[in-house]
């Protein structure tokens, strides 16, 4: 019998050796034939343990004699899996979480340390129980009623928490919600304490999946009916005429009705907003300068009625293949693929009615989807990306005809990659100005900044974090 926790352990071992979490997970899942519930458990344990790494390490630091970084790497991973289940998995009984973790230690070379693993996890439970009793007595109860809920936690963060937190708000939020201090600091400066905490909580949720219907092949009503007949629940997303969000489990996306027929494609609702902000018209020439894997490119083609020409450029040919597959599946004819680095193209000078620069970025708005992004990015990598973004913006703005439009978008929430890039560009480009997004319907809680750019805050709009701005080139440009 295949053990889901053992598969999670194997994937996490690869992650700690440098593999991307989604790649490591796919690798183990492709080798086995698992029931859907077991696949979901492996996925939850891998992504959850990676997301919550800092919190789990802090628990080891506080409860064990040796700090987490001093533990053998494989043992540290096993302890992460145990603590993750105890702390965050409300459907797994505490006894099952402890026993399966002890078994994992036994099967992976730590037979002599099973007592240590068992003792450490039970110490966590005992502390939670003791604090629960104290809390109940302080409220005038006996504490007995808390015991079951502690052994089977009912909330992501138990009410009576053995985790000790520092007073400093940056460190406290960083440890409690498992983010590096520098990311917390960036958010605090923009949002303040309460909103930063809400954003942290949102980023630690399992991601939803949105789709975009292809109006050239079908209607939103037809897709809703087809999915409903297959027992798959979806709901509409306000202000986005092509968007549906899956509710609950879907099974394999590729097997759902309408996928092979090109009726729809997967695309987060924030990314769909970008296409509507660009607002391309039939017959125009549009250049998508960082196009792969093609979600926004194919959306542009749909919005143009597949009439006109879209140059889809990217320097990674393997990612462009995905774009080609998608455009063929959606039966789109207007997309021309061009491989290379857009910073070096000269042939597009003054040729485009519209340019989309969906810039390479740190992805700090999509960390719920990419569990390890918070540990891979650093202030230095953000700074390097901002240089790349400015180079791309400066060069590709030359592709736009006088009077044309460029939309700059990222899926990050870092000002160095967003507001500062645009401000620096406008300071040296007098023939460009920000244009207010007329006609773009935004969620009720969304606000366009006085400068004219727009930022999607996930905890307010319940979609990926994004920055987008529409720029117009004046007619008297050379």
Cβ neighbours, 10 Å, residue 420:
14
Nearest alpha carbon to residue 389 among 346, 421, 363, 355: 421
Q: Look at the alpha carbons of 84, 60, 151, 104 in this order and tell me if their dihedral is positive or negative.
A: positive
Q: How many residues does the chain have?
A: 478
CA distances from 119 to 76, 86, 101, 352, 475 (A): 15, 14, 11, 66, 73
Region of 164 (left: φ > 0; alpha: ψ -120 to 50; beta: rest) is: beta
Which residues lie across from 287 on neighbouring strands? 311, 355
Nearest alpha carbon to residue 290 among 228, 345, 349: 345
Look-up of token digits 């519209």: 354
Beta strand 309-314 with 285-288 is parallel
> Can you tell me the distance from the alpha carbon of 178 to that of 337, in angstroms, rounded to the nearest whole number?
40
Whether omega before 293 lies within 30 degrees of 0, making that bond cis, reads yes
The catalytic position among 200, 290, 361, 411 is 411
Q: Decide: 291 and 312 in contact? Cβ < 8 Å.
A: yes
For 121, residues 6+ apart whose C-beta sits below 8 A from its C-beta are: 79, 82, 83, 86, 97, 98, 101
> Can you tell me the distance from the alpha carbon of 295 to that of 459, in angstroms, rounded to the nearest whole number?
23
> Is 411 a residue of the active site?
yes
> Can you tell me the distance from the alpha carbon of 142 to that of 164, in angstroms, rounded to the nearest whole number?
24
Task: Retrieve residue 179's tokens.
Answer: 């983010």
As annotated, the active-site residues are 411
């Amino acid at each position: 019998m295949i053990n889901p926790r053992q598969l999670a352990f194997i994937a996490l071992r690869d992650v700690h050796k440098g593999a991307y979490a989604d790649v490591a997970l796919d690798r183990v899942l492709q080798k086995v034939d698992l029931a859907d519930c077991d696949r979901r458990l492996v996925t939850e344990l891998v992504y959850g343990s990676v997301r919550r790494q800092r919190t789990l390490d802090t628990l080891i630091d506080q409860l064990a004699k040796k700090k987490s970084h001093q533990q053998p790497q494989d043992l540290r991973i096993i302890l992460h899996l145990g603590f993750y289940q105890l702390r965050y998995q409300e459907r797994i009984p505490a006894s099952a979480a402890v026993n399966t973790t002890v078994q994992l230690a036994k099967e992976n070379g730590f037979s002599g340390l099973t007592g240590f693993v068992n003792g450490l996890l039970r110490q966590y439970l005992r502390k939670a129980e003791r604090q629960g009793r104290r809390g109940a007595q302080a409220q005038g109860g006996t504490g007995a009623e808390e015991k079951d809920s502690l052994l089977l936690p009912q909330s992501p963060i138990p009410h009576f928490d053995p985790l000790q937190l520092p007073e400093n708000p940056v460190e406290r939020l960083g440890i409690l919600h498992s983010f590096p201090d520098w990311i917390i600091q960036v958010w605090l400066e923009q949002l303040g304490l309460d909103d930063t905490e809400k954003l942290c909580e949102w980023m630690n949720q399992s991601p939803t999946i949105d789709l975009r219907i292809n109006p050239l092949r079908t209607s939103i009503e037809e897709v809703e009916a087809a999915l409903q007949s297959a027992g798959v629940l979806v709901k509409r997303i306000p202000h986005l005429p092509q968007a549906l969000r899956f509710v609950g489990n879907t099974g394999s996306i590729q097997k759902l009705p309408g996928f092979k027929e090109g009726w729809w494609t997967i695309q987060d609702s924030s990314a769909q907003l970008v296409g509507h902000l660009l607002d391309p018209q039939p017959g125009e020439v549009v250049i998508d300068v960082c196009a792969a894997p093609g979600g926004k490119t194919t959306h542009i083609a749909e919005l143009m009625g597949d009439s006109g020409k879209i140059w889809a450029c990217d320097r990674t040919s393997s990612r462009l293949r995905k774009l080609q597959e998608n455009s063929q599946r959606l039966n789109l004819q207007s997309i021309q693929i061009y491989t290379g680095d857009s910073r070096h193209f000269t042939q597009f000078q003054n040729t485009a009615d519209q340019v989309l620069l969906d810039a390479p970025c740190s992805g700090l708005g999509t960390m719920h989807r990419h569990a390890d992004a918070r540990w891979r990015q650093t202030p230095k990598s953000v700074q390097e990306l901002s240089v790349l973004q400015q180079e791309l913006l400066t060069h590709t703005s030359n592709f736009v005809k006088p009077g044309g439009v460029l939309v700059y978008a990222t899926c990050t929430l870092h000002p160095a990659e967003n507001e500062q890039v645009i401000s620096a560009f406008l300071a040296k480009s007098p023939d460009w100005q920000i244009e207010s997004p007329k006609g773009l319907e935004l969620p009720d809680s969304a606000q366009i900044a006085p400068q004219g750019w727009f930022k999607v805050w996930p905890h307010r709009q319940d979609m990926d974090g994004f920055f987008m701005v529409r720029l117009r080139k004046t007619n008297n440009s050379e």
